[in-house]
Amino acid sequence: MNVAQRITVEDTRHADALRFLAADAVEQAQSGHPGAPMGMADIAEVLWRRHLSHNPADPTWFNRDRFVLSNGHGSMLLYALLHLTGYDLPLDEIRQFRQLHSRTPGHPEVGLTPGVETTTGPLGQGLTNAVGMALAEKLLARRYNHPGHMIVDHYTYVFLGDGCLMEGISHEACSLAGTLGLGKLICFYDDNGISIDGDVEGWFGDDTAARFAAYNWNVIADVDGHNPAAIDAAIFQAKSQPAAQARPTLICCRTHIGHGAPTKAGSHEVHGAPLGTDEIAAMRAARNWPHAEFELPADVVDDWNAVEQGAARQMLWQQQYDRWEARFPEDAKELTQRLAGDIPDGMLQALEELLDNSTALHGNIATRKASQIVLEAITPELPGLFGGSADLSGSNLTNVKSSVWVNHHGQGNYLSYGVREFGMAGIMNGLALHGGFIPYGGTFLTFSDYSRNAIRMAALMKQRVIHVFTHDSIGLGEDGPTHQPVEHLSALRVIPNNRVWRPCDGEETAIAWQQALQRREGPSCLVLSRQGLMPFTREKAQREQIARGGYILQDDAQAQVVLIATGSEVGIAVSAAASLREDGIAVRVVSMPCVEEFFAQPQSWRDQVLPPALPRVSIEAGSTWFWRGLVNNGTAIGLDSFGESAPAAQLYDYFGINPQAACNAVHALLEQAS
Amino acid sequence: MNVAQRITVEDTRHADALRFLAADAVEQAQSGHPGAPMGMADIAEVLWRRHLSHNPADPTWFNRDRFVLSNGHGSMLLYALLHLTGYDLPLDEIRQFRQLHSRTPGHPEVGLTPGVETTTGPLGQGLTNAVGMALAEKLLARRYNHPGHMIVDHYTYVFLGDGCLMEGISHEACSLAGTLGLGKLICFYDDNGISIDGDVEGWFGDDTAARFAAYNWNVIADVDGHNPAAIDAAIFQAKSQPAAQARPTLICCRTHIGHGAPTKAGSHEVHGAPLGTDEIAAMRAARNWPHAEFELPADVVDDWNAVEQGAARQMLWQQQYDRWEARFPEDAKELTQRLAGDIPDGMLQALEELLDNSTALHGNIATRKASQIVLEAITPELPGLFGGSADLSGSNLTNVKSSVWVNHHGQGNYLSYGVREFGMAGIMNGLALHGGFIPYGGTFLTFSDYSRNAIRMAALMKQRVIHVFTHDSIGLGEDGPTHQPVEHLSALRVIPNNRVWRPCDGEETAIAWQQALQRREGPSCLVLSRQGLMPFTREKAQREQIARGGYILQDDAQAQVVLIATGSEVGIAVSAAASLREDGIAVRVVSMPCVEEFFAQPQSWRDQVLPPALPRVSIEAGSTWFWRGLVNNGTAIGLDSFGESAPAAQLYDYFGINPQAACNAVHALLEQAS
């Protein structure tokens, strides 16, 4: 046996370890996707054993290479890799694949399983997160590396399939990655020609290599995905690009789905169903694999183990880091704070200062403008804050004087994402997952529809990502019903672990920003007006209550009714209250900028703000369904139909969202009660 | 003056009529987007005066060319074209641009303005609708044309900008259009290098021509968008492709945004703001346009008018049609019915037959399976029914024996859309808008997030589009939280004019299909289970009540409590009721497959089903917020957090959505009341 033969045989055994773990686990669960793990096993073997820089004993090591399985249904491939290389994922967890409370759920979940970098399953989004991670690396490297001191220097690797490439978000993310020249992003396309409906020829005729070349990617076409030497050479080519002109790399790997399954390989049957005991037995025979299920040969297990290598790699980096820290202590302090995700005291002070002293913030301004005033004050104090907009910077007012546009400088703290709402949201998730960034990005509220599943993913992954949604209602006026959100507030509020803030003036906007920045455990949506809004004066205690999501803004002794409103409709509630007082009715006005936060408060607070006995009228220029659960037998004033194109003030009257309607509702309720 | 010069001068005046109407209308409204209309005026002039086959007097003429303004913010271009060519859109309407109840809203709205083919504004979707229209034309042509009888034979033209091309949906739609070879789709790319954030160079570096070539499009690059002869030649090239190999065409037109504005052309300032009176005055001088605002020279007005030409075109077609009708009366009858959108009696009978006699439908089956049984029965009876799935045919069970896959045959009644949920939804909207089709398409409910804004657009446009959303809850089991919908039912229900059906067994599934097919005025979402569900027996009267959205499924004399449930949770309610009866509690069980339909019923029906005095418990494996508005002070059992990866039965118990929880809730409520 010559050396080349020996290597081939050995490589097959290492890759086969992945194949059999995947096949056995799916068989045991009687549920799952063996096809992708078996098809990509050879690629995974080469990448993970020869290239990936990681430390299984410390999955949080900052400079590790990131690995993203964008085709997340192939989760068993990732679990097998993590298990074999020595992460805290014992064989018992593999046997518990897809069972309750295991660390091996159906799709990979970040935070649950050590070594999983992002939660994947909804196709195209893992790839997009990876673009965010590669961007994060590039930005941090530009900011913190110095000649001879390369402390940020890692790759981001992605596995992806036909599904990811068909999804629109792949276009958004990859087009932007090419424009930004993210040279350390290396993607492996599992080109197996099969998707769930069968041979992709009928619905996916793209010349993917040409498509990515059009995005300014480094495309390595026609690689045999079962030939380790070819895969290895492609990775070296990707890594050997001159840094200054480096482009993201797509390695197009021709593979067989379910490679190794004697009769089912190459067919869509192997995509998402167990192989069956007969097929697995036949595969054991065909691949010369005389081991029982879940059993692996000791030498293969030894070869896979990356714990020692990983520790050595991290130690070498740590030495570099220590030298860098000694030489650049200010940088080190800042980076440490960024990676910890802490909010500097200076930023909170800047915010307090603004609340106490800014006349601009307390003027009759749109809350989108108030948001910009806040950003002006805090951006210099928060180096990890990373802004942007989906081509609406001047409308969202997300751009401030201290914003440096990455697009034009190659480094900075602001990105014009282009007209790519979903891509922006997915890239922001990647920035947050990477660490070192608190991303925020703007678009119109109505286009939260486009980015919605990425907001959901941020909530599921418990990532601090801030969405700035302006033009938040019919109050945007003439752009008409395509641009006027109606149901969007409700639809965002029902996403678990999401927070929706709809402030009514500058003070509430500042507090909303503060809360969003301090909320580490999930995303926040700041929903802001296009039009100017009347500011309110608050006692110091009241200002502090804003953070509770709902509080008493105005109160009469022995109030007979509570008006509850959010955002631009708080002004309507206050006007209505004034009229009602003239009619001798005592009124409480509750501002509720964040319903979810209010409902997370103790019952005592909720009852204090909304006494159970008092009738309630809610006012919000959007779906009333959501509010019906809160007003009980009271009245929810809102809009359950589409808007119209006209100046805003006319629309409010036309749709009956005005002080008069609120007064009428109160009179009707009080008469009913008497 | 030679002929070429004369033509150029004349052409400029005709295009300038569009420019000045757009500039004047935006100025008058003090709101709108003059940049795109002015930049694309020359292209529009060539297309509409030399190529577009339409009849302003009959905007519903079936064989007209379709024109889609995908960059819908340039609405004034379309309004100017419609006004000038003779549609029922008088100058007074142009003067009322963006005002309440005008026919000239901020973005074009189909059904409101004659000649507007689709509502555009959310970028990328108009282009996608157009792909659906071109597909509709191709399918109808294949089906109904015969040698010498070409009664379906029109083009679909699209104007689009950088924004449409950055959006991910453009990838989904155009990749599929290329694969399907939609040769009569001709798109004009307004390549002006500017988007709202400024010069696109920083965020949009695609080689768009190469990208579309990779999609197998006919790309005509580098056309001067202000040179009528070049534009004309490009259109001729697109139309002169041999039919058998024809591909969709992208004509890349280099233009200046706001072309004609002396100082602002070429800048993003002109994108979305009035030019200002000074700039318009300067433009009048520079373009030698000595006419007051909204005034047009009589000869230009005459030249633009297309009423006579249009009538002649339609008459010629009508003669062809009459010959075809005489020769192929059965085809004519079928096409007429399809274009009218009528549901044939045969189909309704097939459904009745199924309800009366099918044992399969009444078995213990998943509602996705029940849906397939319905589709098996009705598909042969409904030639306009056009199915599909976003690469989940075998999971959604959208494919039936009489499905003929267009992908493989070039004609048929079923499309595997690939992993393109948003694209599928947008293409379905286009099929419905074109006429002749009732499209339905499947994906998992969780991915309704991806297609959400297209569902909204179908609702806004009042289009009959049917979404089949399977795997509708934690009941899908091991795929875990990325795939388990929680908030999606609520989020879909709040879209105005949408209908969400979540049937509990085969009978309800059949009625849900019937209702969705008969609902002409908007989209319906059929939300179906992966897992098998217990069937219920109903009186004939009860079966008829299903269509009312909510009805009494089981009732005890003098019921003390109402259990309300949908879909897979109806079985839980029925089990709970049985237990409660054993405890001596009289229970009513209400099945509510369509909440919106139930709330559209008269108050008397609602009170009959849900007597105001009876305490209520709702059970649905999803967000409870929505139900709180319905149970009043009762209890909403559901799930407000993310799911988990595990077998379905375990998850229902783990999350406390089971008969025991319902019984506990009832006991607590009754104790509270007593």
Beta strands in A63-184 (DSSP E): 66-69, 156-161
A163 and B391: CB-CB below 8 Å?
Answer: yes
pLDDT at B5: 45
Across the interface, of B419, B477, B490, the residue whose CB is closest to A494 is B490
B394 and A481: CB-CB below 8 Å?
Answer: no
C-alpha distance from A294 to closest chain B C-alpha (Å): 20
What is the torsion angle, in degrees rounded to the nearest 10, for the CA atoms of residue A509, residue A515, residue A521 and residue A523? 0
Tell me the pLDDT band of A8, cut-offs 50, 70 and 90.
low
More confident residue, A58 or B3: A58
- Is A344 annotated in a binding site? The answer is no
Told to judge if A421 belongs to the known catalytic residues of this protein, a careful annotator would answer: yes
- Is B483 annotated in a binding site? The answer is yes
Question: How would you write A288-319 as a 3-class SS string?
Answer: CCCCCCCCCCHHHHHHHCCHHHHHHHHHHHHH
B100 and A211: CB-CB below 8 Å?
Answer: no
Q: How far apart, in Å, are the Cα atoms of B319 and each of A230, B64, B66, B345?
A: 64, 15, 21, 30
d(CA B599, CA A62) in angstroms, rounded, equals 54
**Average pLDDT value for chain B:** 96
Tell me the pLDDT band of A10, cut-offs 50, 70 and 90.
low
Spell out which residues of chain A touch residue B645, defining contact as CB-CB under 8 Å: 98-100, 102, 105-107
pLDDT at A27: 97
pLDDT digits 0-9 by tens, A467-489: 999 999 999 999 999 999 999 99
Say if residues B502 and B593 touch (Cβ distance below 8 Å). Answer: yes
- Residue type (1 letter), A448: S
| Mean pLDDT, range A379-406, rounded to an integer | 97
Alpha carbon B160 to chain centroid distance? Answer: 18
The b-or-e profile of A111-149 (16+ CB within 10 A means b, else e) is: eebbbbbbbbbbbbbbbbbbbbbbbbbbbbbebbbeeeb
- Residue type (1 letter), B485: P
C-alpha distance from A224 to closest chain B C-alpha (Å): 22
Q: Which of 3.40.50.410, 3.40.50.920, 3.40.50.970, 1.10.3720.10 is the CATH number of B549-673? A: 3.40.50.920
A629 and B633: CB-CB below 8 Å?
Answer: no
Cβ-based contacts under 8 A for chains A and B: 343
**Position A11 pLDDT exceeds 80:** no
Across the interface, of B32, B214, B478, the residue whose CB is closest to A31 is B478
d(CA B197, CA A243) in angstroms, rounded, equals 28
Pair of tokens at residue B232: 């004309």
Superfamily of the domain at B12-311? Thiamin diphosphate (ThDP)-binding fold, Pyr/PP domains (3.40.50.970)
C-alpha distance from A93 to closest chain B C-alpha (Å): 13
A642 and B496: CB-CB below 8 Å?
Answer: yes
Owner of token pair 């192939």: A74
> Would you kindly state where each structural domain of chain A is located, as residue ranges?
12-311, 345-527, 549-673
What is the torsion angle, in degrees rounded to the nearest 10, for the CA atoms of residue B158, residue B161, residue B166 and residue B170? 0
State the catalytic residues of B: 421
Spell out which residues of chain B touch residue A203, defining contact as CB-CB under 8 Å: 176, 179, 391, 407, 415-418
Same fold, A12-311 and A549-673: yes
Strands A524-527 and A499-501: parallel
Owner of token pair 């155009």: B174
d(CA B626, CA B564) in angstroms, rounded, equals 13
pLDDT digits 0-9 by tens, B369-420: 999 999 999 999 999 999 999 999 999 999 999 999 999 888 999 999 999 9
- Is B598 annotated in a binding site? The answer is no
pLDDT digits 0-9 by tens, A100-133: 999 999 999 999 999 999 999 999 999 999 999 9
DSSP annotation of A48 reads: I
Pair of tokens at residue B27: 């100025």
B496 and A102: CB-CB below 8 Å?
Answer: no
The percent of residues above 90 in pLDDT, for chain A, comes to: 96
pLDDT at B154: 98
pLDDT at B9: 52
Q: Which residues pair with B637 in a beta bridge?
A: B619
ipTM of the complex: 0.97
CATH class of B345-527: alpha beta
**Position A3 pLDDT exceeds 50:** no
**Average pLDDT value for chain A:** 96
Residue-wise DSSP of B396-464? HT---TT--BHHHHSSSSEEE--S-HHHHHHHHHHHHHHSS-EEEEEEEGGGHHHHHHHHHHHHHHT--
Question: How would you write A198-250 as a 3-class SS string?
Answer: EEHHHCCCCCHHHHHHHCCCEEEEEEECCCHHHHHHHHHHHHCCCHHHCCCEE
C-alpha distance from A303 to closest chain B C-alpha (Å): 32
Spell out which residues of chain A touch residue B449, defining contact as CB-CB under 8 Å: 122, 452-453, 456
- Is A162 annotated in a binding site? The answer is yes
B496 and A478: CB-CB below 8 Å?
Answer: no
- Is B530 annotated in a binding site? The answer is yes
B394: nearest CA partner in chain A? A197
C-alpha neighbours within 13 Å on the C-beta side of residue A316? 11
**Position A284 pLDDT exceeds 70:** yes
d(CA B2, CA A662) in angstroms, rounded, equals 70
Across the interface, of B162, B175, B628, the residue whose CB is closest to A629 is B628
d(CA B260, CA B195) in angstroms, rounded, equals 18
- Is B619 annotated in a binding site? The answer is no
pLDDT at A408: 86
Across the interface, of A109, A642, A645, the residue whose CB is closest to B98 is A645
The residues of chain B scoring below 70 in pLDDT are 1-11
Residue-wise DSSP of B471-515? S-SGGG-TT-TTT--SSHHHHHHTSTT-EEE--SSHHHHHHHHHH
Pair of tokens at residue B575: 């089990």
